[in-house]
Structure 1
Amino acid sequence: MVLANNKAVFKMSVNREELKRLIDFIHEEDTAEVYDFIGYLNMKREREAIDQMDLELFSKDKELIRQVQKSREDRANGRIYDQEKGLKYLKNKIKEFESEQNL
């Protein structure tokens, strides 16, 4: 058993030569599906590696951490706007800004 991304993963020992032999004997009509599946597995591994790198980068980004904490505080204190209220708020801010520019 190995831990990967905080999940227990049971590693199975696979004889790669046996795997290659099995692939050689796959029916022709199944080869495209096997090829797609291998591509899917490679893409999945790449995505997991990228997600792990992103998590590490985000955990070091002090500004992002500050923004997340501020967002949590806003939610806890009821400072959340739905789309309609958010647009109304922005329109009012634009009007305020424009009226200040006309002074």
Structure 2
Amino acid sequence: MSVNREEIKQLIDFIHEEDAAEVYDFIGYLNMKREREAIDQFDLDLLTRDKELIRQVQKSQGDRTNGRIYNQEQGLKYLQNKIREFESEQNL
């Protein structure tokens, strides 16, 4: 879309002061939106190149598919058992 910037500037020169404040706020909003979109895209690009993260996600998906997930109580029991195992190894 082609925009005549000079025409936009002239329109701004002739609007009421309170409308000018709204235009100013809207331009600020557009700038923040573009910055956020650029950051989101940058983050997405970084995440898609992180091979370890991709491996972890795929493993997690496999665990869910195969029923290897814990609810809160099961997870707590699992951790308590691991702590007991660790402590018993330390006492050897």
Q: Give the TM-score taking structure 2 as reference length.
A: 0.78
Q: Structure 1 89/15 Cα, relative in aligned 2: closer, same or farther at 3 Å?
A: same
What runs of 5+ residues in structure 2 fail to find an aligned partner? none
More strand by share: 1
Give the number of the structure whose alpha-carbon radius of gyration is greater. Answer: 2
Within 5 Å, give how 1:1-103 maps onto structure 2. 12-103=1-92
- Identity across matched positions, percent: 84
**2-structure distance, mates of 1:87, 1:31:** 59
Q: Structure 1 or 2: larger helix share?
A: 2
Structure with larger RCO (C-alpha < 8 A, sep 6+) = 1
Consecutive unaligned residues in structure 1, runs of 5 or more: 1-11
Query: How far 1:50 sits from its partner (Å)?
Result: 1.8
TM-score, normalising length: structure 1 = 0.71
Aligned pair count? 92
Deviation of 1:92 (Å): 2.5
Change (3 A) 1:24 1:64: same
Root-mean-square deviation (CA, aligned residues, Å) is: 2.0
